[in-house]
């Protein structure tokens, strides 16, 4: 952004596109670090299967898609949101044929929430979960996400959930598990 600085308060700003350049390579490297941290954190959770069209070594931006064996994706996403304050996307996203290919099956329509015994891509599954992050995401958020996934897989959801308008939502009238 800056061509020269006088060591004091005088700054000569670039007048070209460089004025708006904030270190793109550094931003890309930061996203790669975040992806590596999520992948490493989830590697020891055998129920989590990361989805990748181009393989594990493909360059990525700050997005990872995954499924959790034994969980309806809407239920898992709702539990992450309600119980941990973590927002994720779930379903087929904007790429239905691609997600179906990655799941190696025909994706189904949304099923009943609270059917965690449904296999990803099977009857009752909403299919996949996607987490997004960027260069400004603190390491603490990645650690909290990984911890939440591990706890949900190990202990299950603490709250009860129900289906409302095709989505899994906390059942505020039910007793927690």
Distance in angstroms (rounded) separating the CA atoms of residues 114 and 121: 16
* Per-residue pLDDT, 124: 44
Domain contains 76: yes
Domain contains 4: no
Distance in angstroms (rounded) separating the CA atoms of residues 115 and 123: 10
Q: Are 4 and 12 in contact (CB under 8 A)?
A: yes
* Per-residue pLDDT, 119: 41
55 vs 51: which has the higher pLDDT: 51
Domain contains 127: yes
Q: How many domains does the chain have?
A: 1
Backbone angles phi, psi at 116, to 5 degrees: -70, -10
Q: Are 139 and 54 in contact (CB under 8 A)?
A: no
Domain contains 15: no
Domain contains 12: no
% of the chain surpassing 90 pLDDT: 31
Domain contains 140: yes
Question: Which CATH number fits the domain that encloses residue 89?
Answer: 3.90.1150.10
Domain contains 3: no
Residue 81 lies in domain: 21-169
Paired strand residues for 129:
66, 90
Distance in angstroms (rounded) separating the CA atoms of residues 177 and 160: 6
CB proximity list for 61: less than 8 A, separation 6 or greater: 28, 31
The 10s digit of each residue's pLDDT in 29-47 is 888 899 899 999 999 999 9
Q: Is 72 helix (H, G, I), strand (E, B) or coil?
A: coil
% of the chain surpassing 70 pLDDT: 59
Q: What is the 3-state secondary structure (H, E, C) of 39-55?
A: HHHHCCCCCEEEECCCC
Give the chain's mean pLDDT: 76
Closest to 69 in 3D by CA, of 127, 146, 147, 131: 127
* Per-residue pLDDT, 32: 86
The 10s digit of each residue's pLDDT in 99-154 is 555 666 544 444 556 544 444 444 445 568 889 988 889 999 999 999 999 999 99
Domain contains 10: no
The 10s digit of each residue's pLDDT in 63-90 is 788 889 888 888 999 999 999 999 998 8
Q: How many CB atoms lie within 10 A of CB 155?
A: 9
Q: Are 133 and 88 in contact (CB under 8 A)?
A: no
* Per-residue pLDDT, 63: 79
């Amino acid at each position: 952004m800056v061509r020269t600085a006088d060591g004091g308060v005088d700054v000569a700003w670039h007048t070209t596109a460089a004025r708006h350049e904030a270190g793109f390579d550094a931003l890309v490297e930061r996203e790669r670090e975040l992806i590596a941290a999520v992948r490493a954190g989830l590697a020891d959770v055998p129920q989590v299967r990361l989805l990748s069209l181009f393989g594990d070594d493909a360059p990525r931006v700050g997005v990872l898609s995954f499924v959790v064996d034994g969980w309806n994706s809407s239920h898992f996403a709702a539990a992450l949101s309600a119980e941990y304050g973590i927002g994720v996307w779930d379903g087929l996203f904007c790429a239905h044929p691609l997600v179906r290919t990655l799941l190696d099956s025909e994706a189904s329509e949304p099923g009943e929430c609270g059917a965690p015994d449904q296999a990803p891509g099977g009857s009752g599954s909403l299919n996949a979960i996607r987490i997004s992050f960027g260069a400004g995401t603190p390491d603490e958020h990645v650690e909290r996400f990984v911890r939440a996934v591990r706890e949900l897989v190990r202990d299950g959801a603490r709250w009860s959930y129900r289906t409302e308008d095709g989505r899994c939502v906390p059942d505020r009238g039910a007793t927690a598990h």
